[in-house]
Structure 1
């Protein structure tokens, strides 16, 4: 799938692109932006395509109508799942995991702007983003156990403990309770709380898009790649990628700008 950001017309969400920042808005506000089989697949395909879309430097992910996402649609996903055979169920759970994998594999930093309800698969989308900002009313719940499912969904048992710690992740995944915005900020799930969280997310994305793009891509790549390696191995990996980053024109421009006491201009090359 090739992506032309200026002309993309998605079927299941809103898309806006300008000056390097793409904004994905989950858009079923009357139902608090639930996901369906088709919207899962379209989001997966979009994040896969972003690997080949250098025009997009940063992605903002949000929801319409004052909520982020209520997760899998009860009638369009949960009901049909109860009637599927094991093969069909595995195809679905593999697809949802592929969406998280695509979010982690796309090089662009993803900024989640979370308002209101952020539950189930919606909480996973926020978790799989690189940076998360919250509105004061944000309520995040990994509520899988409340519908008889395990907390081991879409990478939650791997990723969530790395963000907030094992014990806190275990509590949320066992109980399915809401995590408030204040609690999420205190635990490190959210980096900040903002009254106008969408504007704050756009400002953050804009600052990242104006920065050294290749350096940001390497940072995202290494944050994932170094999860499960020793410090010795990580040091070697970072030596390689940082030396590569030092060959970019952005690095040389930054040196010249600092030497001339002016602000560097990054062009992503």
Structure 2
């Protein structure tokens, strides 16, 4: 599968100038996820590992909302009829989507607005950068349907973004985090009246940068969560030495010496 020419059945796909835009596209239902859309999203992000033409990714929702999470009728209802093996198959599959988002080397910029709850909030959390409209309402509302807050990596990732206490409050209560709170707490990088346009502009800037090095940065941001400072510094020494062996590093030096903007090619 070539993601640059990908034609998915369960979400929108646009590829232009190195930037892929994934759009959750069921606006009449506030863009809920289904068994099929979870799986197709997982497969798309896995494929991005091999899609060198894709330099950055934007994730957005259609119709003024990001996502209302798992579809009540198409997911939650059927899950009440499953035995444990089937339930575990589902929860592992949804977790694999987050793994795929974190493992793909491209920076992921989420453009958030309106409803961003449940699994939708998880997709936002799993992105690298989040730009939100002032009307964005984010909630990890799993406890409201009798589930634990530890869904799809939330207890591992969310505290690292907003802190243990704030994450605990959101995951225990399922309450809405306003856009202003999200920005103040560091969940949203910034607020924008047109988050999609801003996300695409940022993604384009990232796509114009040293994309091989961006992949190294993303990998280290994930890998260094669970290592000592001494180990992290050594890992970064090796990672930076690898980047210094790239043509992009040489291009940057030559451009600096010539007083011009470098043109990176990702090699």
Fold similarity call, TM over 0.5: yes
Correspondence 1:167-186 to 2 at 5 A? 167-186=165-184
Correspondence 1:90-109 to 2 at 5 A? 90-109=88-107
Correspondence 1:243-258 to 2 at 5 A? 243-258=241-256
Correspondence 1:11-50 to 2 at 5 A? 11-50=9-48
Q: Distance in 2 between matches of 1:210 and 1:112?
A: 18
The structural deviation recorded for 1:267 is 1.0
The structural deviation recorded for 1:132 is 0.4
Q: Distance in 1 between matches of 2:3 and 2:21?
A: 14
Q: Distance in 2 between matches of 1:101 and 1:196?
A: 28
Q: Give the TM-score normalised by structure 1.
A: 0.98
Q: Distance in 2 between matches of 1:118 and 1:4?
A: 25
> Are the counterparts in 1 of residues 3 and 47 from structure 2 also a CA contact under 8 Å?
no
Per-residue deviation, residues 45-89 of structure 1 (Å, max 9, x unmatched)? 000000011010100000000000000000000101111000000
Which residue in the other structure is 2:83 paired with? 85
Which residue in the other structure is 2:128 paired with? 130
Structure 1 unmatched ranges of 5 or more? none
RMSD value, Cα: 0.6
- How many residues align structurally? 267
Structure 2 unmatched ranges of 5 or more? none
The structural deviation recorded for 1:12 is 0.4
Correspondence 1:142-181 to 2 at 5 A? 142-181=140-179
Q: Distance in 2 between matches of 1:266 and 1:231?
A: 31
SS at 1:140's partner residue?
strand
The structural deviation recorded for 1:264 is 1.1
Q: Distance in 2 between matches of 1:240 and 1:4?
A: 30
1:231 lines up with 2:229 in the alignment: yes
1:3 lines up with 2:2 in the alignment: yes
Q: Give the TM-score normalised by structure 2.
A: 0.99
1:199 lines up with 2:186 in the alignment: no
Q: Distance in 1 between matches of 2:47 and 2:145?
A: 33
Which residue in the other structure is 1:62 paired with? 60
